Structure formats: C-alpha cells, structure tokens
Chain A
C-alpha cells in the first residue's frame, strides 16, 4: 500500500516537515521506507544507519514522536492511515535532516575513569569470575549506544543540563564499571558531583525506550544512587569503606 510520510528536513538554522509517499510491503521497517524515499525521491536526505538489525544503534530517530531505532520499527506496527512523522532526536543539536550531533556523548564518556582491574587471579595472568557475578554487568554491556535514553531524559531534553549531568547511558556505563567484579577504581565521588547523578529523579523514561531492554533505572541508576548515599551520607559506612579501600592493593 502507499503510505504518507512527513520527514523533517533542514539543518541547525531551521527546517520543516516535508511530505513524501512510498509503497510499503510486507515486513518493511521504517528505515526501509526512508531508504526508498532517499533512493527515488530525495538522494540528499540524511540519515545514519549501519547494521539494519538493531545491533549498532545508529538509526535513532523519533517516529510519530516516539524515540525508536528506525531499523527495528515495523511499518505494520504503525497506523498507516495517516502520515508517519520522522524527525531527529531532540536532546542534541541538529546537523541535518534526521542526523543529530551526538558528539557530546563521546566527550562525556572520556571523562569517566577507565577500567582498572585487580591483579590477575591465576599465575598465567588470567582471572576467575562466576557467571552469576557478571550477569548484571553483561546486561549493561548490551548497550548499543543508540542514545535514545539520553534523548528522552528530561534533564537533558527539557532542561539541557548537558554540562552537569551525564545522562542514563553513562550512568549505566559507570554502573557496568563499578559492578565489574575485577574493577578496583572508585567513581562514586564523581558520580555525585561532576556526573550529577542526583539530577535523575527516577522517572524511568530511559528504561522504557531502551531497545536492548536494559533495566537502566532499577538495576543501574538506583544501585549507584545507593552507593553515593552510603559513601557520602552514612558516617559508619564511610569509615568502614575508607579503611577497607586502604587495605586493597
């Protein structure tokens, strides 16, 4: 069937929705329709994509107002009797058409202290970890860096506090490091201050849009907030941890 689209066209200086129509066949996803339009009607329509299978996190956009990976959004799941709107993520500056400038995310990541493993457990330089001790970290490491969670986070999207808050993606990244059984680094002080974990007020919007279904809030952010509380607001815990950390290599 022939379906109508309204795709945002423009750049940092402004833009508007333009109307397109294309044939939709069985099994098509939104990215297929965008590619068809690009191939036949608008060669210069800018969108990012790579894997087309929900693994690389490149084709993030807002489809009918919902943050989605275009490659994993089936046309058949959308109401096709009215135009489908596609626009770029809103928590970041616009480059062109469906392309947002996500470079801030790469700069933020660099500020988080890197992985620092304990000395190897075995003489051959390897470590031992039990599967149940890494299940949680593996959940966080499923993240494909599509930045949809950043896009819906109101601290970033509505309040534009990019200089004070690292956003759910990087809280999950920090959580994966903090909960890594081998890691010996401590990132709690930064989480509280420079990374602004306190700005998150647990509305769980990030969790709802995660295409990898990571329990960002419950499994990642809340435990991190608890660590911050333990470390900074519980005097006995603070004393105990300070002593413990000194004993560790």
Chain B
C-alpha cells in the first residue's frame, strides 16, 4: 500500500453540523480521543442555515406543555410510522439539551421573566421552539463549535470520506482526501459516528448546499448498513421562487409562526379550505381565532398555516396547478398584514425575522414589511436514513453509529419544524456517548491496504478522462429528473422511468472526466460525489415505489389515500451480496401501552 498520511482516533465523527459536533463533544467528555471531519470549514455546515428554532417542551411560554404532548405531536406529524422509542427519548431529553446550550454560552431570546422564549411552529400544539430571531442554527452551531474546540477534539477541515473500512464485519476506519491538496488520508478508529446530513442535492429545487450529497447514507449502505424510510423526503412549503437564481432558498416557517398567512392570487387564505381530519380539533376555523393563537391566546387554536409541512406543500402545489398561483409560479406569504393588528408592526417584523427581511430585501428587492413574499416548495430534508438502534444510535454494523439527518426513525413520514435541531442534540449526544463506550470496549482493527488502493485508483480515474463527460452536466440531469419523477407528487410510471434514467446515469458516471490537478478542484469533488447522489436517488425511488399509498411526505397520485397495509411498516433498503439494491417492508415494533395511552390522551 502506498504511504498515506494516517490519523488515529478512538472515535471518528464524520460531519460537523449540530449532530456531529454534539457527538464529538460527548465522546470527548467521556475521555476518548476524537477526530471530527468537516466537509467544509468548521461552523459552515448546514445547521448554520436552520432558522426557526429548537423544539423542546420547556414549558416556559405555555405551562401545559410537557414531553407527552411533544411526543404525541411528533408521532402525529410522522403519521405513526416513527420509531416510537426515538420520539420518546427525543421529547424527554430535548429540554435538557437546550438548557445545556445555554450553559455553554448560547444566548436565546427571552421571555418577560427572563427565561428562554419559545415560539409557535407547524404541528406543535404549544409554543415550543427555543430560538434566536431567525438565526437559531447559527447560534447552535457556534455554541457547539466554540465549546468543542476547547475540549481537545482534533478537527479535520475540508476533508471528504470516500469509503468506510471494515474488518470482520466491524468498521475500523475511513479513507478519504483533503480538499486543499487532494491527498488521500487514512483514518483509523475504534468507532465511527456518521453525521453527514441529508440528500437535498439530488433535487433541482433545494434549500440544501453543495455538501448535501447523501454521503453518510451511501457510505453506510455500501458498508452493509440498512437504510429506512427513504421515500419520505420533506419538501418545505416555503422556499423563494423569484428571481430564478435564488429559487429554493428557505423562507423560515417562523414567518407563519409570527402570524404570516398564505394566500393565492385571489387573496384567499386557501389553507382554511383543507384542514385534515386528524388536525381539525386543534385548528382554528376562522382568521380571527388563528391570529389570537399567534398572539398567545391560550384558548385559541392554531391557524391552518401552522399545519404540517407535507400537507401545506401539497396545498400550495394544488393552488399553483389549478391556476391560482402567484406571477412567478408560487403563492403569497404575507407577514406585512400584521401591521394592521399591532403597533410598530414593521419594526416587530424586522426584530423577529431579521434575516428574512435582509434576504428578501437584498436578493429580491422585496420589503417584507410592505409586500407579500412569493414562495413555493423546496427540497429541504430527508426523514429517511441509516437504520439505528433507538437508544444507542448504532447501525447494524458494529462500531458504526449515525445521528442527525443521516440517521432515521424519529420523524416517521414527516418531520415537524424545530424537531431537527433537537434531534441533532439529543441523538448526537447519544451517538457520542455510545460510540465512546464502544471504543473503550474494543481495540483498533487492521486496515486492508488492497481495499484502499482500489478506492484510490477509482477516485483518480476521472483525471484519465479529461475529455470525458462534464460531472456538472450529469449532476444537473440527475437533479432535474429526480425533481420531475420522484418529487412532491409521484406515480408508478414516472418512478419506474426514473429507475431507467438512474441506470443510464450510473453508466455515464463511469465516463465523467475532469481537468486540472488534484488541488482544490471542485470538478473532481463533484465527480466523486456522484456515486453517493446516485445511490441515495435510487434508494428514494425504490422505497417510494414500494410504499403504494400516500402518507406524510409521500404522495402517490396513483394511490392517493392512506392504506392500512402500510400503516405499520417501514421500507428497508439494503445491499445484496450481488451489489444490487434491495427493498423490503419490515413491521414496526409494537408500541408499549404507556405510550399508546399518551397518544390516546392527546387526541
């Protein structure tokens, strides 16, 4: 084997957003050595873009809130195919994880009596999101980053992992490269935590950055772990639609939490027209009640703009398809109207939604305190991911853990806004804790030099084909076809045709070529990411074909209703001995009685 620079850690964390940082902090606190791999610079991971807040039943604003309500909300939002144990742990532990951030220096917005303020969000019964204006993710990642660097974590910035290394069925390391010089690197570790985030770059219209190529999903799948719930891709209802260059950039749900309303071109608040049966009892049936809810009236029910994301995204698509959309193919989101209701409305909007104000002013010449925004759905999050044990976050591969967006289970068929940041904290901590424990109980394994040589040779192949296909063109073709064929509204014919496209894309991927040298070469990086994007695209498509019903984020126009046959199953994706992708349905674990009772009480 060639002489590659080799690093050695007890625990290697791949991914440095909220989950990765929290895992690294926990593992390090347990007394093991920790390496943390960032695809970008430290502190730039996707968590930084989270806006609305961290969901945790602190009960600072409404004393009726507690873990049971949060648990029931999460399960209802996920259409009950969530891993109930994860939803339970999440609801119980999120408050402590938020308070811990404060102890590490986070500065949340305050209530009048000086405690952490909480705001309304879709699908949450009570105001539950601890927040800092609309830049909560920045606050969270910076707090974790600043706390973590003083703990002796070894941070590897701008490095990408190409493969996980195994020995007798257990992970023993990872192999990758550094962006700056393009050199290959070996990481030996006793345990590995994947915290690589999502897959949004598989779609054309997305709120996700270039990093979101499903790396952890693909690494785990190829190493032999299972993926679960991959059909459930969240299309956030409100992304920017105009101008074209900003299409897909997120508009926080916090706008609706602060009283923003959705209207069509006729000025109608169309969300009142379609309130699902299971939310009817908790949803306002008139505009005045909805407004009172946003103002903190505890007797009022929440406005239909705060229904779950899957439902709102579909309603927006319907309005657009039926010709009631806005000029640039979206609908209107209006926060300016609250000026009629409260004094100093414009100042209030700027104070509560500063980065939204800034974003529209600077990128679209829209003053959101004066005019409505134009918004439409954007690919935002994947509920599906690596199948893990609910308590320890370990995958079925010994020593391989996963946390955050790349792991799955807590969200079921649809994630509630705000549950992601709390998921990162709760399960990042758990993954770090149990990975450290695993590292203490196991020795370093051996690295197979031949395996590494194969991966290195394959990674360099695009340089031999300087006249090969442009990797950006292939990436764009993939994004366009996934958007068209496996998007918000799906059917068997389009998804089957997508499998055929994917077959051709795999073929084309073996012909991509890049120019230049190995030093900081984005063309090369794009070529290397294709394998992951294609793997997760296929997983989404196969899982979506398998679930012949509509539930949560999956809407099948050929099976538009929920089907009891799929009410208690998860789709599982795994790699066969022959290298082919397989899909099956596994029954959910039976929920214990005390949790069933909670759900019954909260109905």
Q: Chain A residues in contact with chain B, CB under 8 A?
A: 11, 25-29, 32, 38-40, 43-58, 72, 74, 95-97, 99, 102-103, 106, 109-110, 114-115, 117, 120, 125-131, 134, 137-138, 141-142, 144-145, 177, 180, 183
The complex places the Cα of A143 from the Cα of B437 at a distance, in Å, of 36
The complex places the Cα of A128 from the Cα of B108 at a distance, in Å, of 11
Q: Which listed residue, B48, B521, B523, touches A55 by the CB 8 Å rule?
A: B48
Contacts A43-B515, A50-B210: A99 and B105 contacting too (C-beta < 8 A)? Answer: no
Residue of B nearest to A146 (CB): B44
**Contact of B166 with A by CB under 8 A:** no
Q: For chain B residues 108-159, which have a beta carbon within 8 Å of chain A?
A: 109-110, 113-116, 132-133, 135, 137-139, 142, 146-147, 149-150, 155, 157
The interface residues of chain B lying within 8 Å CB-to-CB of A128 are: 113-115
**Contact of B363 with A by CB under 8 A:** yes
List of 5 A-B pairs having minimum Cβ-Cβ separation, nearest first: A27-B243, A43-B523, A44-B516, A128-B114, A115-B105
Flag if B102 contacts A127 (CB, 8 Å).
yes
Flag if B49 contacts A29 (CB, 8 Å).
no
**Contact of B471 with A by CB under 8 A:** yes
Contacts A46-B521, A126-B99: A28 and B243 contacting too (C-beta < 8 A)? Answer: yes
The total of chain B residues at the interface (CB under 8 A) is: 67
Q: Chain B residues in contact with chain A, CB under 8 A?
A: 40-46, 48-49, 99, 102-105, 107, 109-110, 113-116, 132-133, 135, 137-139, 142, 146-147, 149-150, 155, 157, 180, 209-211, 242-246, 249-250, 355, 358-359, 362-364, 470-473, 476, 514-517, 519-524, 526
The interface residues of chain A lying within 8 Å CB-to-CB of B473 are: 39
Q: Which listed residue, A26, A114, A115, A144, touches B244 by the CB 8 Å rule?
A: A26
Flag if B209 contacts A50 (CB, 8 Å).
yes
Q: Which listed residue, A25, A109, A129, touches B146 by the CB 8 Å rule?
A: A109
Flag if B242 contacts A141 (CB, 8 Å).
no
Min CB gap B401→A, angstroms:
25
Flag if B99 contacts A125 (CB, 8 Å).
yes
Residue of B nearest to A73 (CB): B362
Contacts A38-B522, A55-B355, A128-B114: A103 and B245 contacting too (C-beta < 8 A)? Answer: no
Residue of A nearest to B514 (CB): A43
Ordered by A's residue number, 12 sampled pairs between the chains whose C-beta atoms are within 8 Å are: A27-B242, A43-B514, A51-B209, A52-B246, A53-B363, A54-B358, A55-B137, A74-B362, A96-B180, A126-B102, A126-B116, A129-B107
Flag if A38 contacts B107 (CB, 8 Å).
no
Residue of A nearest to B58 (CB): A126
The interface residues of chain A lying within 8 Å CB-to-CB of B116 are: 126
Flag if B41 contacts A58 (CB, 8 Å).
yes
The complex places the Cα of A125 from the Cα of B102 at a distance, in Å, of 10
Residue of A nearest to B100 (CB): A125
Min CB gap B154→A, angstroms:
12
Min CB gap B580→A, angstroms:
32
Q: Which listed residue, B103, B110, B355, B526, touches A129 by the CB 8 Å rule?
A: B110
Flag if B40 contacts A50 (CB, 8 Å).
yes
The interface residues of chain A lying within 8 Å CB-to-CB of B137 are: 55
The complex places the Cα of A241 from the Cα of B246 at a distance, in Å, of 52
